[in-house]
Amino acid sequence: MEIELQLDDGRVRGVVAGLRPYRAGGPRLAVEHLGQKIVAHNYGHGGSGITLCWGSCLEVLNLLGNHLSPGLPVGVLGSGVMGLCSAHLLSQRGHPVTVYSKEFPPNTTSNVAGGLWAPTHLGLEDDELRDRMLRETWNTYLSLDSKRYGISKVPLYETPDRSHPLDPFPDGITPEPSTMARLPISGYVGECLYSETLLIQTPRFLHQLASDIEERGGAFREYEFHHLNQILELPETLFINCLGLGAGRVVEDHAVRPIRGQLVLLEPASESFIIDHSAGYVISRPDMLVLGGTFEEGVEDSEPDPEMCRTILSENRRVLLGKN
């Protein structure tokens, strides 16, 4: 397949920036008691929330064990991918669920995510847990209605000099990468690795999760958390904390810090694919073409930098099309 890649200014839809909720040492998956309340923590996944979501949420439900008695109402803090997947699984099991959040889709950080399924920048030291969460998430995505949830398997091309190499995939999930003599783009000279991965259209996926939760009787309540003691005011006795970057402030977890990612969004291409190269990446989804990106540690400003976005566009043109 020869990829026709068009990156001219007239195809640009806009620019966005999202703050990845990275946590040194990996995600926090733990259960604690706060007075008569029980809180399960599920935050700190960095840029791999889409990649870990189902597996991470299942791990937390398993940690709760007998605390999660049949039919128990549960409050979920946060409506990003972790919050919605947690609420989705709980509602599937028959639990009345209320999702408490300051923002809801399409206005969450998860909505900005490119949607590539690939472990990267996890910071997780437990290899067995990492492997289990990745496999569970991959297999759950494959079990969903691909059209309804916006999930597809797509080609992944990685150049040898890619700026942010992906972490290894679990053994056996996909065939081993093969070497191609050239990237299938007319403007790029040089070999690349070819494999496959999943691509999730994040706006469609999150919208469908929320719709499913509502259809099962789940509720969404606007609520801003400043400290964890606020759950004492809420009616549920059990909560799952999926506040992402906000969790660092709410529970005073100083291991949590933002990593800003900026993206340029263009009109969609005719094919779906992913390219990871020396100056960033390209994620071609049916709804848009996403150019990235940056990994700006410690930057809390969620407003995109116009100059940086122009650089992202020009660097993708230079590397992939041989144009300035």
Each residue's pLDDT tens digit, 200-248: 999 999 999 999 999 999 999 999 999 999 999 999 999 999 999 999 9
- What is the CB neighbour count within 10 angstroms for residue 30? 12
Q: What does R_g of the chain's alpha carbons equal in angstroms?
A: 20
* pLDDT on residue 228: 97
Across the range 166-173, mean pLDDT stands at: 88
- Is 70 exceeded by the pLDDT of residue 151? yes
Range of 3-7, 62-66, 124-128 with top mean pLDDT: 62-66
Position of tokens 């259209």?
Answer: 201
Across the range 80-99, mean pLDDT stands at: 98
* pLDDT on residue 166: 82
Across the range 91-111, mean pLDDT stands at: 95
Position of tokens 């003691």?
Answer: 229
For 223-248, b where at least 16 C-beta lie within 10 A, e where not — what string? Answer: eebeebeebeeeebbbbbbbbbbbbb
* pLDDT on residue 84: 98
What's the whole-model pTM score?
A: 0.94
- Is 80 exceeded by the pLDDT of residue 123? no
* pLDDT on residue 324: 65
User: Which sign does the torsion angle of CA 110, 116, 121, 124 carry?
Assistant: positive
Position of tokens 């969609």?
Answer: 268
Position of tokens 């007239």?
Answer: 10
* pLDDT on residue 23: 93
Across the range 149-165, mean pLDDT stands at: 91
Higher pLDDT, 126 or 134: 134
Reported as a pLDDT band with limits 50, 70 and 90, residue 45 is very high
pLDDT single digits (tens) 182-192? 888 877 778 89
Using left for φ > 0, alpha for ψ between -120 and 50, and beta otherwise, residue 273 falls in beta
- Is 90 exceeded by the pLDDT of residue 286? yes
- What's the mean pLDDT when you consider all of the chain? 94
Range of 135-144, 155-164, 272-281 with top mean pLDDT: 135-144
- Dump strand ranges (E) for the chain: 12-23, 28-34, 37-43, 74-77, 97-101, 151-158, 178-180, 192-200, 219-222, 238-241, 256-266, 273-277, 280-284, 289-292, 296-297
- Residue pair 74/239 in contact (Cβ under 8 Å)? The answer is yes
Instruction: Write down how long the chain is.
Output: 324
State whether residue 322 is helix, strand or coil: coil
State whether residue 61 is helix, strand or coil: helix
pLDDT single digits (tens) 305-320? 999 999 999 999 999 9
Per-residue tokens: 55: 């597996």
pLDDT single digits (tens) 245-255? 999 999 999 99
Range of 3-12, 83-92, 160-169 with top mean pLDDT: 83-92
* pLDDT on residue 126: 87
